[in-house]
């Protein structure tokens, strides 16, 4: 199974989650984890499974304005949070990538996000909008959208990387026949 994990990340947390998902999937197949600006149509065509994730901004997917604000915030030291800007933070986002994505013709997909640890009704979830975008482009979702959590100091909550790897392994287990592993 060929899996493509596409991510958008502002401060590196979504990238780390994407990498953990890829590690969880890796044993039964080939996995490529790429930032959204590198997710070409050829890579999407190559993949049997496309997993897409990004940070939650203003209750949903990032926009050009919310990414600009995140870049500005990331440049301000405040002494208590991990606000180091991801090198790819100034590039395109998942929202724009989905708008330009070719039709998936039933290709399998899954969506994830990172968000503050609080009820989703308060924080929103980018993964729901990502899933909707994937379905709208003709992809077939193989799992419910998943959220991975950061605390109010913008640090990954303990155990989230392990949970992401487990989620990835679970996707692979459901999609790869037992005799193929």
Residue 53, token pair as written in the block: 């994730």
CB-based contacts of 142, cutoff 8 Å, min separation 6: 49, 108, 109, 110, 171, 174, 175
What pTM, to 2 d.p., does this model score? 0.88
Distance CA 121, CA 160 (A): 20
- Secondary structure E strands in 17-104: 30-35, 49-55
Work out whether the CA dihedral 15, 44, 125, 94 comes out positive or negative.
positive
pLDDT tens-place values along the chain, 181 residues long: 999 999 998 888 999 999 999 999 987 789 999 999 999 999 999 999 999 999 997 767 776 666 677 666 665 555 445 567 777 777 788 999 999 998 889 999 999 999 989 888 888 899 999 999 999 999 999 999 999 999 887 789 999 999 999 999 999 988 875 445 4
For residue 154, the enclosing domain spans: 2-180
For the domain that residue 51 is a member of, what is the CATH number? 3.40.50.360
Number of domains within the chain: 1
Q: What burial letters (b/e) apply to 69-103, b meaning 16+ CB within 10 Å?
A: ebeeebeeeeeebebebbebbebbbbbbbbeebee
């Amino acid at each position: 199974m060929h899996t493509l994990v596409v991510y958008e990340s502002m401060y590196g947390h979504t990238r780390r989650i994407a990498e953990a998902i890829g590690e969880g999937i890796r044993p039964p197949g080939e996995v490529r984890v790429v930032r959204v600006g590198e997710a070409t149509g050829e890579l999407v065509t190559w993949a049997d499974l496309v997993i897409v994730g990004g940070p939650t901004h203003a209750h949903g997917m990032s926009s050009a304005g919310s990414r600009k604000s995140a870049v500005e915030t990331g440049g301000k030291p405040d002494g208590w949070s991990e606000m180091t800007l991801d090198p790819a933070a100034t590039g395109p986002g998942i929202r724009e990538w989905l708008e330009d994505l070719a039709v998936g013709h039933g290709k399998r997909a899954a969506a994830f996000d990172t968000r503050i640890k609080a009820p989703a009704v308060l924080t929103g979830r980018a993964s729901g909008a990502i899933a909707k975008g994937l379905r709208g482009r003709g992809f077939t979702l193989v799992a419910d959208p998943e959220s991975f959590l950061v605390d109010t100091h913008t640090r990954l909550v303990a155990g989230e990387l392990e949970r992401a790897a487990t989620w990835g392994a679970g996707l692979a287990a459901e999609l790869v026949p037992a005799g193929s592993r």
